[in-house]
């Protein structure tokens, strides 16, 4: 029997390969949806509203940089209201800006526009007639391609960090890496939602793989937690260095208070991103856009610049 087992398994294996058929999913031909990504920020660096308006792309469609430029929706009318005030956002594209204006936009909105490879377009209040204020509620209205989208967001109260300190990395000591921990008193009696970003030296602000947290486990308590460094999207995963900061680098931390709808958007998006694969469950991304997809989010931002990675 031992002499025939291997050939028999080999024959069965080739038989299985011979029966394989290419699977081509049946994708419904539905029209694209309008997708909003918009923010208004109050706090340490209040900023005017800006909105990126695009069309959704089928999951199985391949797209290059030229086609990517075509997903931006042009000639929309976008209004933002707060109380009796209203501003109409102006459409601006990267190709229309000077290098100085691009640098200002990158600093103002935390975007990395220098090496996109396509013409990025957005709608912005260039007049600065309206900048974000903590506690205020902002209504968004989008009219584009015979569609009307609406959304509402509120900028929550700021929750400031008490201190940020670097510590030796857990496990085997490192001569070049440190862990960052934050300390603050979480307010009692109110529901809070947080998001953060980090900036290393002159690099752009980046969001970590898991950027949001709520206060269900920490409400009203003193908090001490690690704050991992946000890695570049194209960086290779190395468990020995992931989330740690290099000695000598200068770090900026942006700590944000956000409302629940804004939290739910990022929480479901990041959960979906972390659970991809052939055997994963499909996650519906929460959004607060009536008539479309995406997020209109208010941000209560506090900034902690000039943190030099060093031994305490």
Q: What tokens does 301 get?
A: 């931002």
Q: What tokens does 93 get?
A: 């594209």
Tell me the three state secondary structure of residue 10.
helix
Residue 246 · residue 199 · CB < 8 Å: no
| Model pLDDT, residue 93 | 84
| Model pLDDT, residue 13 | 42
| Model pLDDT, residue 2 | 45
- Per domain, the residue ranges of the chain are 34-154, 163-286+298-308
Which pLDDT tens digit goes with each residue over 57-94? Answer: 765 555 555 666 678 899 999 999 999 999 999 998 88
Mean pLDDT of 120-148: 94
Range scoring the smallest mean pLDDT among 111-115, 142-146, 272-276: 111-115
Please work out, in degrees rounded to the nearest 5, the angle formed at the alpha carbon of residue 180 by the alpha carbons of 104 and 302: 40
Q: Percent of the chain, pLDDT > 90?
A: 60
The yes-or-no verdict on residue 12 having pLDDT over 80 is: no
Mean pLDDT of 262-278: 80
Correct CATH for 34-154 of 1.10.287, 3.40.1000, 1.10.10, 2.60.40: 2.60.40
Which pLDDT tens digit goes with each residue over 165-208? Answer: 999 999 888 999 999 999 999 999 889 999 999 999 988 899 99
Mean pLDDT of 213-236: 91
Average pLDDT in the chain? 84
Q: Which residue has the higher pLDDT, 92 or 140?
A: 140
The yes-or-no verdict on residue 257 having pLDDT over 50 is: yes
| Model pLDDT, residue 279 | 47
This prediction has a pTM of 0.83
| Model pLDDT, residue 68 | 63
54-63 burial, b if ≥16 CB within 10 A, otherwise e? bbeeeeeeee
Give CA–CA dist 99/114, Å, rounded.
9
Q: Where are the beta strands (DSSP E) in 145-229?
A: 147-154, 163-168, 177-185, 193-200, 212-214, 222-226
Please report the DSSP string for 113-138 in residue order: -TT-SS--EEEE-TT-S----TT-EE
């Amino acid at each position: 029997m031992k002499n025939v087992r291997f050939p028999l398994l080999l024959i069965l294996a080739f038989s299985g390969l011979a029966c394989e058929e290419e699977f081509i999913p049946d994708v419904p031909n539905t029209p694209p949806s309008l997708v909003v990504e918009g923010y208004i920020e109050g706090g340490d660096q209040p900023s005017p509203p800006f909105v990126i308006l695009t069309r959704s792309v089928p999951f199985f469609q391949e797209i290059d940089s030229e086609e990517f430029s075509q997903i931006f929706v042009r000639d929309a009318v976008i209004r933002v209201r707060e109380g009796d005030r209203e501003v109409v956002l102006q459409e601006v594209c990267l190709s229309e800006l000077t290098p100085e204006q691009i640098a200002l936009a990158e600093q103002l909105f935390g975007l990395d526009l220098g090496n996109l490879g396509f013409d990025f377009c957005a709608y912005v209040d260039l007049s600065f007639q309206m900048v974000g204020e903590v506690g205020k509620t902002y209504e968004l209205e989008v009219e584009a391609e015979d569609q009307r989208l609406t959304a509402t967001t509120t900028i929550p109260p700021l929750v400031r960090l008490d201190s940020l300190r670097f510590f030796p990395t857990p496990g085997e000591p490192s001569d070049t890496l440190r862990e960052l921990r934050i300390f603050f008193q979480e307010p009692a009696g109110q529901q809070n939602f947080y998001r953060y970003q980090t900036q290393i030296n002159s690099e752009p602000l980046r969001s970590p793989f898991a950027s949001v947290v709520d206060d269900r486990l920490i409400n009203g308590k003193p908090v001490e937690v690690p704050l991992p460094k946000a890695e570049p999207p194209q960086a290779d995963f190395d468990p020995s260095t992931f989330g740690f900061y290099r000695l000598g680098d200068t770090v900026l931390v942006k700590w944000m208070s956000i409302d629940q709808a804004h939290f739910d958007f990022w929480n479901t998006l990041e959960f979906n991103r972390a659970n991809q694969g052939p055997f994963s469950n499909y996650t519906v991304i929460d959004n607060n856009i009536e008539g479309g997809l995406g997020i209109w989010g208010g941000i209560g931002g506090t900034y902690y610049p000039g943190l030099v990675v060093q031994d305490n």
